[in-house]
């Protein structure tokens, strides 16, 4: 009997960390003096509400969200993000979240973070959890190797998470039937991937997802109390 490869999939924002890293990074760029505070806060909050409602135009949002780093360049942006990790993200990484990831690691599961936030913001966060495999919104690069504000390939948002996960599996000559997946997420935006997972786990779920999980008999995990 063939044993399926076991994969633990984790959404990031409000799942592994009790913050929205993309939103908080935007707020941090204001603190760095990279953005006009009033206008940026207005637009950032507007985009965040669209995300929560499932109506976000992710291409428009990524152009907005990457404007500051495009203007600052790679060196300044990297230094700014290092401060963001120290001042914001590290304080948001809890023992409970680390224990959840470490438990799957100890069980021999492959670990993958699947997030709708872009790779610039999330790669260092994945590293902080010791997770090598990151499926995030990939950013187009110019001839100098810096971001253009456009998205490369399929954005890993909503059903795009399923598409990107299928591409990840195909690159390893695998399909859904070859793997046993556990997927942790807080959001109804991830319903498509929850329905694909062998073991869907509504994690710190919003009210709609909590109700749906109860209806379907999915596990509910309140990681942050």
Active-site residue 87, yes or no? no
Whether 127 is catalytic is no
Distance CA 212, CA 197 (A): 15
Q: Tell me, letter by letter, the H, E, C secondary structure of the chain.
A: CCCCEEEEEECCECCCECCCHHHHHHHHHHHCCCCCHHHHHHHHHHHHHHHHHCCCCHHHHHHHHCHHHHHHHHHHHHHHHHHHHHHHHHHHCCHHHHHHHHHHHHCCCEEEEEEEEEHHHHHHHHHHCCCCEEEEECEEECCCCCEEEEECCCCCCCHHHHHHHHHHHHCCCCCHHHEEEEEEECCHHHHHHHHHCCEEEEECCCHHHHHHHHHHCCEEECCCC
Catalytic residue among 13, 22, 109, 190: 13
Residues with catalytic roles: 11, 13
């Amino acid at each position: 009997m063939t044993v399926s490869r076991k994969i633990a999939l984790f959404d990031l924002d409000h799942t592994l960390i009790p913050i929205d890293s993309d939103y908080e990074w935007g707020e941090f760029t204001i603190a760095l003096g990279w953005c006009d505070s009033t206008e940026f806060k207005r637009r950032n909050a507007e985009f965040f509400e669209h995300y929560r409602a499932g109506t976000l135009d992710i291409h428009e949002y990524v152009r907005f969200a990457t404007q500051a780093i495009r203007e600052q360049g790679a060196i300044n942006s990297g230094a700014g993000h290092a401060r963001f990790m120290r001042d914001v993200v590290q304080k948001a990484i809890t023992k409970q979240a680390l224990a959840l990831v470490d438990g799957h690691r100890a069980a021999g599961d492959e670990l993958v973070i699947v997030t709708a936030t872009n790779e610039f913001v999330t790669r260092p966060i994945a590293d902080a959890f010791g997770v090598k495999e990151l499926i995030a919104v990939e950013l187009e690069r110019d001839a100098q190797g810096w971001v253009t504000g456009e998205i490369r390939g399929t954005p890993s948002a909503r059903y795009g998470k399923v598409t990107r996960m299928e591409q990840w599996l195909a690159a390893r000559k695998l399909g859904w039937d070859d793997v046993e997946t556990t997927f942790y997420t807080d959001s109804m935006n991830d319903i498509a991937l929850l329905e694909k997972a062998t073991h869907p786990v509504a994690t710190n779920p919003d009210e709609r997802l909590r109700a749906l999980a109860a209806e379907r008999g999915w596990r509910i995990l309140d990681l942050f109390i």
